A and B are shown apart, each in its own frame.
Chain A
């Protein structure tokens, strides 16, 4: 799993959540249940990390986004898309 991607996801997720620092973020926690991330904000988070990691958000489907429940899930999804492009 890419350290850079994890750092990016930590940083962007903490920005969206506002009340948790990147280091404190539990990457395995359910972002909706544990941190109150709404579905709308999850899409904005995915967009944001896609923009900064060079992954075209159009490579995701609605089902892909729905399947992202934790920070770890998001890192894995981004890594898979980067791998698919490479």
Chain B
């Protein structure tokens, strides 16, 4: 039953001596991994007794916490499929149950009266009932549905295979050799499958893991003293600014200020999801906290990663075993995996699967890249329509721009995210611009968008984008970088609504 790591995780109790810690601003909750394993076993049996069967879907819509972890591990034991819903993007309603075919939905949000919607606190009681269950997985079977930003506003759902999880965990362990002295710090939502990898890794390879939240991360790291921090570029950029400011204010070395924030045991920092600023990478390297950038999409899982034995700053590392990067004549990157995450989306608008997945399971990333003579992958132009906020949330701007353009008043619209808190659109008007009318169109557009996708301010360009003024390509596509440069002052200015420049 241990032919893959998920089966090993399910069937074999972890070595004693390592802990899962839930770190909140006000204090920590810590539990031995052996007890986590046992509690998940009991919870799985209780869920089975409650009618959950292999293949059933269990939704989890809650902030990071012990119950989240136990539900995920229990689902693995009884071969139920987890659906991790990010708080704020989904609602605990019967509609969510129906839309995603859930048997149960556990949530920490106020739920509608529906027997299938359960308070996640109920997990504590269920995990105390006696019993146990552990069923084996095949490599092609999907343990979970992970959600990713969709081009229609509604997240796409992708079923992730056992084989893809197994191969990613093995590859990462080979590169980073997580061991008994490690404590991996996770603060991004557990609804992101990769964040749960570090719980699986702790149970399989024997190390500590600390789970926190986006709101608490900075404040609890120095207390919990992790050896590894899993973050995104915006997180590390904020940390860098704080460290530099603290070092200047307290007249101390930046390395000391960095230890004051991250604790004094950092072995390395992990960044991904979006391109990191090379200056930020250099900053942390110079602080004695090596930071390693990698590359991967939800659809591919981890494709490449810099690591202590092979690190080339600016690249996204060498391609992992089991992953194959194909670069076409135009430099476009596609990825094939020996163990594909999936062959198509489980939930997506018509045409989305065909746009991303080839018939042979190859994933078209939409990014441009090259591989150097030593096998390092360099991404020259990521898909420029994805904005990654500093909380790790991704916003795909192209469909937002399309909605804005869905007006006879607007010829072109380009969306930027100047401050990580809101989006700003630069609009090229069609004919004479009427700011009031465009303002009404903006309000209607925002009504149809998710919260993170809404446009706070529109900068109305003084003259339409054109090839002559350098703001359109010869194919009449907006030149994003040039538009940003031309209107940077207006884009970063304060205030809501429509502004003419």
Contact = CB atoms under 8 A, between A and B. Distances in A.
Contacts of B135: none
Nearest to B249: A15
A67 B150 CA distance: 31
Nearest to A44: B242
Given A38-B419, A58-B27, A65-B25, 16 more contacts: A36-B419, A38-B234, A38-B390, A39-B390, A39-B391, A40-B218, A40-B234, A40-B235, A40-B390, A43-B216, A43-B218, A48-B246, A58-B25, A61-B24, A62-B216, A66-B215
A65 B245 CA distance: 21
B238 A44 contact: yes
B219 A46 contact: yes
Interface in A4-62: 15-16, 32-41, 43-44, 46-48, 57-62
A57 B24 CA distance: 11
Interface of B: 24-27, 213-219, 223, 234-235, 238, 241-242, 245-246, 249, 390-391, 418-422, 494
Contact of B217 (A33, A43, A66): A43
B420 A38 contact: yes
| Residue among A43, A58, A66 with max Cβ neighbours from chain B (10 Å) | A43
A38 B25 CA distance: 18
Nearest to A36: B419
Contacts of B242: 41, 44, 48
| Residue among B26, B27, B419, B422 with max Cβ neighbours from chain A (10 Å) | B26
B246 to A, nearest CB: 8
27 contacts: A15-B249, A34-B494, A35-B494, A36-B419, A36-B420, A36-B421, A36-B494, A38-B238, A38-B390, A38-B419, A39-B215, A39-B391, A40-B238, A41-B238, A43-B216, A44-B238, A44-B242, A46-B219, A47-B218, A58-B27, A58-B219, A59-B26, A60-B25, A61-B24, A61-B26, A64-B25, A65-B25
Contacts of A64: 25
B218 A44 contact: yes
B389 to A, nearest CB: 8
Nearest to B248: A15
A62 B421 contact: no
Contact of A47 (B27, B219, B234): B219
Contacts, number: 71
Nearest to B212: A62
A39 B235 CA distance: 10
Contacts of A61: 24-26
Nearest to A11: B249
Nearest to B420: A38
Tell me whether chain A's interface is mostly helix, strand or loop, or mixed.
helix
Nearest to A52: B249
A57 B214 contact: no
| Residue among A37, A47, A64, A66 with max Cβ neighbours from chain B (10 Å) | A47
A83 B312 CA distance: 52
A62 B391 contact: no
A35 B218 CA distance: 21
B6 to A, nearest CB: 32
B421 A43 contact: no
A57 B421 contact: no
Nearest to B243: A44
B258 to A, nearest CB: 13
A31 B421 CA distance: 11
Contact of A37 (B219, B246, B421, B494): B421
A69 B187 CA distance: 22
B419 to A, nearest CB: 4
Contact of A40 (B27, B391, B418): B391
Given A32-B421, A47-B219, A40 B26 contact: no
B230 to A, nearest CB: 15
B179 to A, nearest CB: 29
Contact of A62 (B213, B249, B390, B494): B213
Contacts of B24: 61-62
Contacts of B235: 40
Contacts of A35: 494
Nearest to A50: B219
A64 B420 CA distance: 22
A69 to B, nearest CB: 13
Q: Return the 4 tightest CB-CB contacts between A and B, nearest first.
A: A36-B419, A62-B215, A40-B238, A38-B420
Given A15-B245, A40-B218, A43-B217, A60 B419 contact: no
Nearest to B223: A58
B88 to A, nearest CB: 12
Contacts of B494: 34-36
Contacts of A40: 214, 217-218, 234-235, 238, 390-391
Contacts of A16: 245
A65 B419 contact: no
A66 B215 CA distance: 8
Contacts of A36: 418-422, 494
